[in-house]
Structure 1
Amino acid sequence: MTDQAAGEETFISHLIELRDRLVKASIGIAIACAVLMFWPGPSRIYDFLAAPMIAALPVGSKMIATGVIAPFLVPMKVTLLIAFILSLPWVFYQMWAFVAPGLYAHEKRLVLPLVISSSVLFILGVAFCYFFVFGRVFHFIAAFAPNSIAVTPDIENYLDFVMSMCLAFGATFEVPVVVVILVRMGIVSIEKLRSIRPYAIVGAFVIAAVVTPPDVVSQLSLALPMCLLFELGLFVAPIFARATQRREEEETAS
């Protein structure tokens, strides 16, 4: 077999492995979605998601649906979003399992803690957005509405806003994991990351200004946690690197 043929075969095998991992991840999301369909149900899930907005509206006000199938389609999309969040540990595991064959034995042991920490941090980011940010942002925005305007948000626009905000906060809370991986893999030194701290802070506020609504509350709610999580990554990364490298050296010596 020529080198070109061997390379093509390896590439095809990687594509097959990637397909299998994507299928398994999709099956996990589908199972979580099916469970949520039966309990608590799409309607209750959407009512829970809409609670921060309803609390900010005048008493007795409700959201509206301008689309013909929106009352059916929007709760279904919300259910799928929640199913994806709940199945994140399984999805992250499939991602790490795909790259695991190219790692050394000591690096493969990092898969489980990284999967757990990535899942927990993402869910914490979404929870922080829902329980802390939404209520303050919606009350802040509603306070600027003139008395001549009836605030009745459309459910599709609300869903788009909620999804973008939840994904933004979930991804932001992954900053410590990214820092740990960069340091542990030797891509960037901890000293280099510390030296670019001012640029990281500016970048956090720029990202917050881009992905959040144009109000100070939501921008600060995203930028400040991002800065704190960057600092957490700088604190944890050296400890994690020393612990794993020590174990690697002990295994090599034995």
Structure 2
Amino acid sequence: MDKQMTVTDHLGELRYRLIISSVALLAGATVIYLNMDKVIMWLTAPLSGKQLYFIGPADGFFTTIQIAVVGGIMVSLPVLIYQAIAFIMPGCTRQERKTIFSAIPPALILFALGAGFGNQVIFPLVLRFFMGVGEGYLNPMLLGGKYFSFLLLLTFGMGVFFEIPIVMIALSRLGLVKSRKLRNTRLYGYIGVLLLIGLIVPTPDVLTLVAISAPVLLLYESSIWVIYFMEKNKMKKENVNYA
């Protein structure tokens, strides 16, 4: 049995985890900042040579800091996740610990896939659509701050959306959701995904929205069936044990 921790112990543990997380985030942000020229070149590749502008004297500086911080979060994400889990782990049961640890590797992989999909596939499509509509009657003057904010939001948002299977399977293993209920309410889940993606990527083009949402909806549907087969396998094991 784990040793009971006092309030002071919890506060000391929290401070320790926050310090480690802050150092990891600072190190990640520093790496991104020191390679900012390469990062900017990579992030602006979808512009195909179009120039970015800033208005205020400090806009360029704050945009650079924004990129460094968000990039630092992504680079140090494994450390940040580990520190968060290490803090809550003493209060978890054995089953909860097993569920959490088994979810970490696929969660990191899915986040990387989602972020890459958002950055390399979805963002160029959305940018091309918006630029194509606007350039029909306006001359574009792209502000760097807005361009990078939208790019980073879409990249990070798609990474989070790709975590849906991990969340659903973890909730199932903890006994909080069942495949039957998920199947019966899948329409509401689809609508929720479409609404959330529509808020992050406000596009009036239905085809673009469908193209963006399709991978997330596929992951959502796949998760339902994974949970279903997990439940069947669990029932078979229980029947064998009772036999």
Aligned-partner Cα distance in 2 for 1:208–1:106: 33
In the alignment, is the contact (CA less than 8 A) between 2:123 and 2:154 conserved in 1?
A: no
Give 1:222 shift: 3.6
> Does 209-218 or 129-138 show the bigger shift?
209-218
Report the more deviating stretch, 130-139 or 226-235: 226-235
Distance, in Å, in 2 between the alignment partners of 1:17 and 1:236 is: 36
Task: Find the counterpart in structure 2 of residue 29 from structure 1.
Answer: 25
Correspondence 1:206-225 to 2 at 5 A: 206-216=195-205, 218-225=208-215
- Extract structure 1 runs of 4+ deviating beyond 6 A: 241-247
- Pick closer, same or farther for the CA change 1:51–1:146 going to 2, 3 Å: closer
Please name the residue that 1:107 is paired with: 96
Alignment of 1:76-155 (within 5 A): 76-155=65-144
Q: What corresponds to 2:241 in structure 1?
A: none
TM-fit CA distance, 1:163:
2.3
CA RMSD of superposed structures (Å): 2.6
Residue of structure 1 in register with 2:38 after alignment: 44
| Counterparts in 2 of 1:187 and 1:205: CA distance versus 1, 3 Å | same
Amino acid at match of 2:128: H
Q: Which amino acid aligns with 2:216?
A: M
Task: Measure, in 2, the Cα distance between the counterparts of 1:157 and 1:209.
Answer: 18
Alpha-carbon distance between aligned partners in 1 of 2:136 and 2:200, rounded to the nearest angstrom: 29
For residues 16 and 193 of structure 1, do their structure 2 counterparts lie closer, same or farther at Cα, with a shift above 3 Å needed? farther
Amino acid at match of 1:211: I
- 2:227 maps to a residue whose letter is A
Matched, 1:164 2:172: no
Distance 1:16 1:227 in 2: 42
Query: How has the CA–CA distance of structure 1 residues 25 and 246 changed in structure 2, closer, same or farther, with 3 Å as cutoff?
Result: farther
- Contact between 1:64 and 1:153, CA under 8 Å: does it hold in 2? yes
Structure 1 Cα separation of the partners of residues 233 and 62 of structure 2:
49
Report the TM-score when normalising by structure 2: 0.84
* 1:108-157 deviation line (CA, Å, top 9, x unaligned): 23333312222211121110011101111111111112455221210011
| Residue matched to 2:63 | 74
Identity between Structure 1 and Structure 2 (%): 24
Q: In 2, are the aligned partners of 1:32 and 1:86 still within 8 Å (CA)?
A: yes
* Cα contact 2:30–2:68 (8 A) shared by 1: no
d(CA) in 2 for partners of 1:234, 1:90? 30
Q: Deviations over 1:162-183 (max 9, x none)?
A: 2221222111111001101110
Which residues of structure 1 form unaligned runs of 5+?
A: 1-6, 248-254
Aligned mates of 2:173, 2:42 — CA distance in 1: 40
Instruction: Specify the code of the residue in structure 2 equivalent to 1:14.
Output: H
Q: SS where residue 142 of structure 2 aligns?
A: coil
Q: Does the 8 A contact of 1:208 with 1:220 survive in 2?
A: no
Contact 2:165 2:220 in 1 (8 A): yes
